[in-house]
């Protein structure tokens, strides 16, 4: 019989996954066990996910980032999805959610799980809906069978919008943007047409039984999250949160690992209250937030509007950030959008970790700043969060190899390069001072792995080779080889 990480932690056991997580976070394994046992952290690790390199999600650990991938009924196939998975892992996703709603759902999901060193999440109601004519035709039995099948396929966590209840629906009537969660809107329609309570709520124990059987973590979805600033922090959102608090305790009592999803669109000045309220209501269960977007006026740039909110949320205790791409509200993201969204969110997560004084988090910044002041362009590119882009931008105007040793770039030009002027003024030209300066030793840093370059560091030794029809060159660019010694045994997630 499978015992979940939560059950084993409560029994006092330090599992292999906890040991591995402790190594990646640079903490004592006993601390990981305590956090999991208390429900303050989760290790999404389905027992059937052979390629997984375990990771932890919790407010006391480095902030994590999720990337959504998946096809729609109009776009992408299995090869395209594997390219997105490859790009997501390469660019630093700590987990991926397969939100496919188009063709070949099982083949895509099975391929994603087989090739993913990071936890894979899903929203099972999406698949369930593809099997019927409309939301009203869904049944508890069909939903449960989909959850069961996906658990057997090795999915590590599932979003269940079990907190949307009939009594909450009237609270959304006066909203500007109604119900914007796909799962929330499907379930609302089901409840209205069938005049019955949400089947995920009414039969929650049945789902818990399946989740425990495979150690699938539940991510309690926020089906009533606000879809605009106008609807943020309203009665519907907070009524659902109360139910999520109730379900958190219930699932944990049954041995299920739990995290809780959050908004959405929230003005900057309300984000802290949102996070602190979730932490209080859900007794510290990891908070997994989508953004939030801090303004509604910038479609095409919502990776930026939301990364601002995500930084604030993580600063105040959100444990994982679900990325948003520039295509949000506009279309299905392509591999390049995945890259842009992940860059924005790795920045948000790292900025929060620096501000929260996570051990060693600042070392990466210091090392890059030192390389910048030293005009060590190659090291600067190697250390950059997206070194390929940094190198490309630099080379657009100064492509020659000789410019990799130049004491200027094209931004200010040789005459006005302030760093060169400053060095000259301090009589430290020709590298005299920079050679002598003490440099940050990233190999000795006590930062969690996600706070050291390069991003996308996972043990990929159990990941099979990509199928021949997957063009990884279109997704990842050239590998930057950074020698941080401490990570020598860890391969890039590609």
Binding site for ligand SF4 (CB under 6 A): 408-409, 411-412, 417-419
For residue 272, what are its two tokens? Answer: 């802290």
For residue 242, what are its two tokens? Answer: 């109360």
- 147 closest CA partner among 157, 135, 137, 138: 157
Instruction: Give the DSSP H/E element, type plus range, for residue 276.
Output: helix 268-281
Binding residues for [4Fe-4S] cluster: 409, 412, 417
- Nearest distance from C-beta of residue 480 to ligand SF4, angstroms: 20
According to DSSP, the residues that pair with 131 across neighbouring strands are none
Nearer to ligand SF4, 354 or 419 (CB): 419
8 A C-beta contact, residue 223 and residue 260: no
- Nearest distance from C-beta of residue 413 to ligand SF4, angstroms: 6
Instruction: Return the number of other C-beta atoms located less than 10 Å from residue 193's C-beta.
Output: 12
For residue 60, what are its two tokens? Answer: 């006391």
Binding residues for Zn(2+): 265, 329
DSSP label at 439?
Answer: -
- Nearest distance from C-beta of residue 388 to ligand SF4, angstroms: 19
Binding residues for substrate: 68, 97, 126, 161, 181-183, 222-225, 261, 288
Nearer to ligand SF4, 235 or 409 (CB): 409
- Nearest distance from C-beta of residue 420 to ligand SF4, angstroms: 6
Nearer to ligand SF4, 345 or 408 (CB): 408
* Residue 122: burial class (beta carbons within 10 Å; 0-12, 13-18, 19+): buried
- Nearest distance from C-beta of residue 382 to ligand SF4, angstroms: 17
DSSP 165-230: -GGGGGGGTT-SS----HHHHHHHHHHHHHTS--HHHHTHHHHHHHHHHHTPEEEE--TT--SSGG
According to DSSP, the residues that pair with 259 across neighbouring strands are 219
Nearer to ligand SF4, 48 or 420 (CB): 420
Nearer to ligand SF4, 69 or 417 (CB): 417
- 119 closest CA partner among 218, 35, 210: 218
- 93 closest CA partner among 64, 70, 115, 122: 64
- 56 closest CA partner among 250, 217, 280: 217
Strands 41-42 and 64-69: unpaired
* Residue 490: burial class (beta carbons within 10 Å; 0-12, 13-18, 19+): middle
- Nearest distance from C-beta of residue 367 to ligand SF4, angstroms: 17
Instruction: Give the DSSP H/E element, type plus range, for residue 288.
Output: strand 287-290
- Nearest distance from C-beta of residue 408 to ligand SF4, angstroms: 4
Nearer to ligand SF4, 157 or 375 (CB): 375
- Nearest distance from C-beta of residue 409 to ligand SF4, angstroms: 3
- Nearest distance from C-beta of residue 417 to ligand SF4, angstroms: 3
Map residue 159 onto helix, strand or coil.
Answer: strand
Nearer to ligand SF4, 140 or 407 (CB): 407
Nearer to ligand SF4, 74 or 418 (CB): 418
Which residues, including other chains, have CB under 8 Å from residue 272's CB and lie 6 or more apart?
A: 312, 316
- Nearest distance from C-beta of residue 154 to ligand SF4, angstroms: 47
Q: Is 456 left (phi over 0), alpha (psi -120 to 50) or beta?
A: left
DSSP label at 492?
Answer: B
- Nearest distance from C-beta of residue 303 to ligand SF4, angstroms: 24
Map residue 370 onto helix, strand or coil.
Answer: helix
Nearer to ligand SF4, 250 or 378 (CB): 378
Nearer to ligand SF4, 421 or 466 (CB): 421
Instruction: Give CA–CA dist 121/244, Å, rounded.
Output: 19
Nearer to ligand SF4, 140 or 389 (CB): 389
- 340 closest CA partner among 371, 307, 369: 307
Binding residues: 68, 97, 126, 161, 181-183, 222-225, 261, 265, 288, 329, 409, 412, 417
């Amino acid at each position: 019989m499978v015992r979940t990480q939560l059950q084993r932690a409560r029994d006092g056991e330090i599992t292999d996954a906890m040991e591995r997580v402790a190594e990646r976070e640079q903490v004592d394994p006993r601390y990981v066990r305590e956090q999991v046992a208390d429900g303050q952290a989760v290790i999404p690790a389905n027992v059937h996910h052979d390629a997984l390199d375990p990771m932890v999600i919790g407010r006391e650990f480095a902030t994590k980032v999720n990337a959504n991938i998946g096809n729609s009924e109009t776009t992408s196939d299995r090869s395209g999805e594997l390219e997105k998975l490859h790009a997501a892992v390469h660019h630093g996703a700590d987990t991926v959610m397969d939100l496919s709603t188009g063709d070949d759902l099982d083949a895509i999901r099975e391929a994603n799980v087989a090739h993913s060193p990071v936890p894979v999440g899903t929203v099972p109601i999406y698949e369930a809906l593809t099997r019927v004519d409309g939301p009203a035709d869904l049944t508890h039995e069909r939903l449960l069978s989909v959850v069961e099948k996906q658990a057997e396929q090795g999915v590590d966590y599932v979003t269940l919008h079990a907190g949307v209840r009939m009594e909450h629906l009237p609270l959304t009537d006066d909203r500007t943007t109604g119900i914007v969660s796909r799962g929330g809107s499907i379930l609302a329609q089901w409840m209205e047409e069938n005049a019955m309570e949400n089947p995920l709520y009414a039969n929650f124990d049945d789902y818990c039984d399946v989740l425990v059987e495979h150690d699938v973590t539940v991510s309690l979805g926020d089906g009533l999250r606000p879809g605009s600033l106008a609807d943020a922090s309203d009665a519907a959102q907070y009524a659902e949160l109360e139910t999520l608090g109730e379900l958190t305790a219930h699932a944990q009592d049954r041995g299920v690992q739990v995290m809780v999803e959050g908004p959405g669109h929230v003005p900057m000045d309300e984000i802290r209250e949102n996070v602190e309220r979730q932490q209080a209501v859900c007794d510290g269960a990891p908070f997994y937030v989508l953004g939030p977007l801090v303004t509604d006026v910038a479609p095409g740039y919502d990776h930026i509007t939301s990364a601002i909110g995500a930084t604030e949320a993580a600063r105040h205790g959100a444990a994982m950030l679900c990325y948003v791409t520039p295509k949000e509200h506009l279309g299905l993201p392509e591999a390049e959008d995945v890259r842009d969204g992940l860059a924005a969110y790795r920045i948000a997560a790292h900025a929060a970790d620096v501000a929260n004084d996570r051990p060693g988090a600042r070392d990466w910044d210091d090392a890059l700043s030192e390389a910048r002041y030293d005009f060590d362009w190659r090291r600067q590119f190697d250390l950059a969060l997206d070194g390929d882009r940094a190198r490309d931008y630099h080379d657009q105007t100064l492509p020659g190899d000789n410019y990799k040793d130049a004491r200027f770039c094209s931004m200010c030009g040789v005459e006005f390069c302030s760093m060169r002027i400053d060095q000259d003024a301090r009589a430290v030209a020709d590298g005299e001072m920079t050679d002598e300066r003490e440099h940050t030793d990233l190999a000795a840093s006590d930062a969690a792995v996600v706070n050291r370059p390069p991003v996308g560091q996972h043990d990929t030794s159990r990941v099979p080779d990509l199928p021949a029809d997957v063009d990884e060159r279109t997704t990842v660019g050239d590998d930057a080889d950074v020698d941080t010694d401490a990570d020598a045994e860890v391969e890039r997630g590609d």
